[in-house]
A and B are shown apart, each in its own frame.
Chain A
């Protein structure tokens, strides 16, 4: 009796895998010939299924928006240039920025053959403006706040009248991540409940249309339109039939699984993995390539940067500028960038990423260069020059020692700006000047006589930020401060900073957009949005977790508001803002973003790379459409 049961059990365990032999061992969920299919990392798992309404509350964007939708312009993070979408001319404002006129491209068609024209834009703006439930991206609220009227001038010209000067109104249609997506007027005007409409059957203005979705949200299959020549992407590429026939977005899981999928030939592109996982991929998959063919491999120009943030509201010691400078001077940036980040990210002394365009506007701008080289801070009554311009060269030397082949560019272009000297003696002077004392073991004590200790919070899955926090904790401990590193699950970490429950933490941000404008990102630091912790930092809509109050910044922010982003005076104000910021060491900035966005050139080639740096490879941004459309088949 028992024996029989055991036999049945064993038979079952053998039979089940045997049955599997009949199934295709491929791990891909769709039956599309591999030479027509481009498979890319979906980054996350969809929780809303079969709903492509990108305006409503169900909206989720990555990939999908780059494949299916269109807005007017795209802000390219590699070059800082504007790439054209549904409009290929810059917007025209009147003198006092109360009117904006837009000219549309006349060669675009919806996937059902209907021409795209001014009616669509007017309909889109009016619909979003009049429907609070179409809340995605905050466009409804933006229109409610600024818009007076929107009128069609002719078939391809639209004029927006604004209720007050708004020189940045066009940013609503200019995608860094997303821009207001165009709606098909001829189709949507027939639909009664647009908020709950799922938009599964088109028509679409983008190059791809969804054909199948995993009910469990792991993958989504898209098919190229029958008339690719009528899309903005193919017109940009001047190729009547650009892009792969099918695109599959799929989530395999963490770094390890993405790397395994790529070695199995079941993934053609992924967004990012850890440095260690990338190393093992290079060893196992010779066709895989990120931005540079050699060290430092990763794409270095996504517009953001890593920093250490203080909570100025609840922890008194953070309000002392000298202490903040002492903390900066007791960090060894070369060691941080090499030992902790693997040498693969550009150093920045302020929160502006070191992309080609932004380096030109900021780090290498004569005004900024002169200022930083002559910058003096007061150390116990003596002036002290903290800037060290040799950082990039020293990182280059380190790379030589590792035996890495160096990139062709100068050290600064590959490893970023200078930084602050690693000078623990001066740091000690700064602390002692403020009443801090040190005992025989080198341990620091506060003026109140307590051990100088604080915590630094970071989310381990945000790899570089966590490693920056790791490095800072190690180095400050070496300096004699008792720093506790807290690795927190991401949502817990963000709940903490939203409610002011931290002393220092390691987030990321950029003070400027890819084109150099600062106001949209800096305005939250205006003191009129300040609320004390533990209220939510954005209880008044603006505000930042640092809860900084500084009238000098307020004045600069107010002055920027009415200037056009490209106005030279605007640039000067942004410079002043950054200089004031650095002089006070409000944040300790460390490195630019880098991503191991990686392409396996097994079935598809011609992704953007250091040799082909016409636009960014960040395919999950809406502007990433161009990198997908530019792919060429290797014939499978």
Chain B
């Protein structure tokens, strides 16, 4: 009971505050952008046309009404909360009259599937290999570390671009854009999905992996030198047990925090991956929305991200004691 009152309830309250503040900031910032969504739409709708000036003005009014941009920013803000609580993110400006809900619904599965796989795989492999490298320093681990160290700082888009050139141009085996045939979960869809997803996944895995490796190795090295591991070694505990029970376990806390946050962050997508590999997902949607000042789409995707990260952070905090029993709730 005291646990609930003293720890869980305040933490839940914090979760709510964080989300409300985050959403409010996201509501305001895009409106500071110099890009005017009405002007963008006007340019798109009347491309190459020589219009009557009166017609231009009339069209502008029409667009304002369509986009729900009438009224002061305060009115818009409250209208926005009203719609949001009703589960409606409004129409997209750039892709009017499509609903933001539908657009996100189409893009979300691709991003979530890709990033869940690469994040978790990168995390697991990175931690295992990194911890092993910390525990068994030697020629082989130095070599692995060397490779990771070189790969790690290479800007992601260069890695992506090299993979693209090699596997679509010199060895034209993978498709140039994400090509998906058949209905979801049919054999043809799965085959084309894997075919199209391979390069994006591998490149993301490589960068994620090298980061985790380095992190795990640094933490492992520090842990190895701690007093209780020293005592345990002197007490003659077997190596495997030592590594698993002490080194790996004690370094888990920051790693779990990080995984939690990374998992929450997957909703903001992989902008560069999608641009380079022509892969559908939230990243490209968000980028175009920012460029076109498509407030509702920016809001929709950021909202997912905000709720995702806030919830991940909540779960991490609540589960600290499960991972590291020495942390007491306070």
User: Which residues of A are in contact with B by a Cβ distance under 8 Å?
Assistant: 2, 5-6, 9, 13, 16-17, 19-20, 22-23, 25-31, 45, 47-49, 51, 56-61, 132-133, 135-138, 140-142, 144-146, 171, 176-178, 196, 215-218, 250-253, 257, 260-261, 263-264, 266, 489-492, 494-496, 498-499, 501, 513, 520-521, 523-524, 529, 536, 538, 540-543
A5 with B124, Cβ < 8 A, contacts A20-B191, A58-B97 known: yes
Chain B residues near A (Cβ < 8 Å): 33-36, 39-40, 42-59, 62-63, 66, 92, 94-98, 103, 106-107, 110, 121, 124-125, 128-129, 132, 164-165, 168-169, 172-181, 191-192, 194-195, 198, 202, 275-276, 278, 280, 284, 288, 291-293
Residues from chain B with Cβ under 8 Å of A30 in the complex: 181
Give every chain A residue within 8 A of B291 (Cβ-Cβ). 489-491
Instruction: Please measure, in the bound complex, the distance between the C-alpha atom of A266 and the C-alpha atom of B125, giving whole angstroms.
Output: 37
By the criterion CB–CB under 8 Å, are A58 and B57 in contact?
no
Task: List, in ascending order, chain A residues with CB within 8 A of B66's CB.
Answer: 57
B161 (CB) vs chain A CBs: closest residue: A256
25 contacts between A and B (CB under 8 A): A17-B198, A20-B173, A25-B173, A27-B168, A27-B176, A27-B177, A49-B98, A51-B98, A56-B97, A138-B55, A141-B59, A144-B58, A217-B280, A252-B278, A253-B275, A253-B276, A263-B169, A264-B176, A266-B176, A520-B50, A538-B56, A540-B53, A540-B57, A541-B52, A542-B56
Complex CA gap A16/B50 in Å reads 54
Complexed CA–CA distance, A348 and B308 (Å): 56
A2 to B128, CA, bound (A): 7
Whether the pair A218, B49 counts as a contact (CB closer than 8 A) is no
A144 / chain B contacts, CB cutoff of 8 Å: 55, 58
* Known contacts A20-B191, A29-B179, A261-B176; A251/B59 CB under 8 A: no
Distance of A196 Cα from B34 Cα, bound (Å): 31
With a cutoff of 8 Å between Cβ atoms, the chain B residues found around residue A141 in the complex are 51-52, 54-56, 58-59
Q: CB-CB < 8 A to B62: which residues of A?
A: 57, 132-133, 135
Which secondary structure characterizes the binding site on chain B? helix
CA gap between A492 and B44 in the complex, in Å: 15
In the complex, which residues of chain A have a beta carbon less than 8 angstroms from the beta carbon of B51? Answer: 138, 141-142, 541
Q: Which of B95, B165, B178 contacts A48 (CB 8 A)?
A: B95
Contacting residue for B35 out of A57, A60, A492, A536, CB 8 A: A492
A384 to chain B, nearest CB (A): 36
Expressed in whole angstroms, the minimum distance between the Cβ of B70 and any Cβ of chain A is 16
B207 to chain A, nearest CB (A): 15
Q: Closest CB-CB distance, A616 to chain B, in whole Å?
A: 14
CA of A592 to CA of B275, assembled, Å? 31
**Are the C-beta atoms of A218 and B177 separated by less than 8 Å?**
yes
Which 4 residue pairs of A and B lie closest in terms of their CB atoms, listed nearest first?
Answer: A541-B53, A141-B55, A520-B50, A177-B48
B residues within 8 A CB of A26? 175
Question: Could you tell me if A138 and B59 are in contact, using CB atoms closer than 8 angstroms?
Answer: yes
Verify B98–A48 contact, CB threshold 8 A: yes
Chain B residues whose CB sits within 8 angstroms of the CB of A495 once the complex forms: 33-36, 39
Let me know if A47 and B288 touch, CB within 8 A: yes
Asked if residues A5 and B178 are in contact (CB atoms below 8 Å), the reply is no
Instruction: Report the separation of the CA atoms of residues A132 and B63 in the bound assembly, to the nearest whole angstrom.
Output: 11
> Which of B33, B36, B94, B194 interacts with A47 by CB under 8 Å?
B94
Docked-complex contact A47 and B95, CB < 8 angstroms = yes
A16 pairs with B96, CB closer than 8 A = no
| Cα distance A58–B99 in the bound complex, in angstroms | 12
Q: Are A145 and B52 in contact (CB under 8 A)?
A: yes
Could you tell me the distance between the alpha carbons of A407 and B291 in the complex, rounded to whole angstroms? 42
With both beta carbons as reference points, the residue of chain A lying nearest to B92 in the complex is identified as A47
Task: Give min CB distance, B170 to chain A, whole Å.
Answer: 10
On whether A253 and B34 interact (CB within 8 A), knowing A16-B194, A23-B192, the answer reads no
The answer for the CA separation of A146 and B52 in the assembled complex, in Å, is 10
In the bound complex, residues from chain A placing their C-beta under 8 Å from that of B194 are 16, 19-20, 23
Across-interface contacts of B192 in A (CB, < 8 A)? 23
> In the complex, A411 Cα to B41 Cα: how many Å?
41
Q: Which residue of B lies closest to A519 (CB)?
A: B50
Q: Please report the C-alpha to C-alpha distance between residue A215 and residue B189 in the assembled complex, in whole angstroms.
A: 14
| Chain A residues closer than 8 Å to B44, beta-carbon distance | 60
Give the chain A neighbours of B181 by CB distance below 8 A. 29-31
Extra contacts besides A495-B34, A536-B39 (13): CB < 8 Å: A6-B125, A23-B195, A47-B94, A47-B288, A48-B96, A49-B98, A137-B46, A140-B55, A142-B52, A264-B172, A491-B40, A524-B53, A542-B56
Residue from B53, B97, B106 within 8 A of A542 (CB atoms): B53
CB distance from A351 to the nearest CB of B (A): 15
B residues near A523, Cβ cutoff 8 Å: 50
- Given A135-B45, A138-B56, A218-B278: A27 in contact with B179 (beta carbons within 8 A): yes
A260 in complex: contacting residue of B169, B179, B198, B292, CB < 8 Å: B169
- The answer to whether B278 touches A138, judged by C-beta atoms less than 8 angstroms apart, is no
Q: Which of B52, B58, B106, B293 contacts A215 (CB 8 A)?
A: B106
Q: Which residues of B contact A48 (CB under 8 A)?
A: 95-96, 98
The answer for the CA separation of A260 and B175 in the assembled complex, in Å, is 11
- From B62, B195, B292, residue with most partner A Cβ within 10 Å: B195
Tell me, rounded to whole Å, the shortest Cβ–Cβ distance linking A410 to chain B: 31
In angstroms, Cα B176 to Cα A260, docked, is 8
Determine the distance from Cα of A427 to Cα of B225 in the docked complex, in whole angstroms. 74
Q: Smallest CB-CB separation from A177: which chain B residue? A: B48
Which of A253, A492, A541 is in CB contact (< 8 Å) with B55?
A: A541
| A42 CB to nearest B CB, Å | 11
Closest to B129 in A: A6
Q: Are B191 and A22 in contact (CB under 8 A)?
A: yes
Closest residue on chain B to residue A284 by CB atoms: B169
- Highest count of chain B CB atoms <10 Å: which of A23, A135, A492: A23
Closest to A9 in B: B125
Residues on B with C-beta less than 8 A from A6 are 125, 128-129
Residues of B within 8 A of A266 (CB): 176
